[in-house]
Structure 1
Amino acid sequence: MIVALGSNMPGDQPSSEALLEAALSLFPRAGLPVLARSRWWSSAAWPDPKGNEYRNGIAIVEANGPPQAVLEALFAIERRFGRIRGEPNAPRTLDLDLIAHGREVRAGPGLILPHPRAHERLFVMGPLAEIAPGWVHPTLGRTAADLAVNASVGRDAAPI
């Protein structure tokens, strides 16, 4: 299972990187043991680059349960760090997205797998290609490495 982590507001933490580390440390207690993780990446705010820079990364997590249960566990971790889901693409303390759950393909309601826009975003595909370059997108049939090279959103994303 692949989870994307992002933040551009550190909340009570000294930095967004510290917030992401703290969130990642809660994954095992939520029944989501981390098998691998990327470095943190930096990118301009999107869609409005005037906002705080984002920090993003990817974790490959052992799937212990159905996708909806995993998503609920991720939302619970977000809430612990003050995330309030509201306006799309708004600044946030913590954003946890379920990118893929094995090879499962699902079209809602409430959950689309694989994530419908992850393949377009370098700040997702770059970190994924760092730790799993050969991962194959369940519907596009392309590797993470190929998708990272061709991502159209967040082209400024780079590891820090």
Structure 2
Amino acid sequence: MALGSNLAGDYASCEALLEAALARFPQAGLAVVARSSWWRSAAWPDPSGPEYRNGIALVEANGDPREVLSALLAVETSFHRTREGKNAPRTLDLDLIAHGRHVLDEPGLVVPHPRAHDRRFVMGPLAEIAPDWVHPALGRTAGELAAAAKVGADASPITPPSRSSSPALC
């Protein structure tokens, strides 16, 4: 699962919001097995927007990809996620990046995620915790994909986690 935020909402920082979202995963039937550090990157495609925080969680889930996606959307809703337009700032964005070795292309669900392989803010955190993970459709590892990613090329891990001067932005 990919997690992202560039509006902290009611939380002190985007990192705090993302931690709270991770803490909610077990209630949604998603057992977190491993997780990356939080990464920062400029807003995309308009870098003048609030900076993003992103990360990856490897989870065990009972259910098919559609059920897992439904659980993720329910967690987003519980954090007051609104969809105001493509690439608009958001409190919480949860994406199903892959589900085992499944390759699906159905209305409302494409697995693996159709653009994750070209996003450093997704592949970088994934490579941090599972560098040898192999993309089910492309046959390339997370490490290879992170090195080749074009979108979010500025993405880098936050060490230590940063603190935002504004509670509303990251």
TM-score interval for Structure 1 and Structure 2 normalised by the shorter chain:
over 0.9
1:136 aligns with 2:126: no
Query: In the TM superposition, what is the alpha-carbon distance from 1:63 to its structure 2 partner?
Result: 2.3
Q: Share of identical aligned residues, percent?
A: 71
Q: Secondary structure at the match of 2:55?
A: strand
Ranges in structure 1 where 5+ consecutive residues have no aligned partner: none
1:119 aligns with 2:113: no
1:58 corresponds in structure 2 to: 56
Q: What does the per-residue CA deviation read over 1:8-34, in whole Å, with 9 as the maximum and x for residues that have no partner?
A: 000000000000000000001111000
Q: How many residues are aligned here? A: 158
TM-score by length of 2: 0.92
- 8 Å contact kept, 1:63–1:101: no
TM-score by length of 1: 0.97
Ranges in structure 2 where 5+ consecutive residues have no aligned partner: 159-170
**Superposition map of 1:29-48 within 5 A:** 29-48=27-46
The CA RMSD over aligned residues, in Å, is 0.6
Question: Which stretches of structure 1, 4 residues or more, deviate above 2 A after TM superposition?
Answer: none
Supply the distance in 2 between the matched residues of 1:128 and 1:68 (Cα, whole angstroms). Answer: 22
- 8 Å contact kept, 1:9–1:91: yes
Q: Secondary structure at the match of 1:126?
A: helix
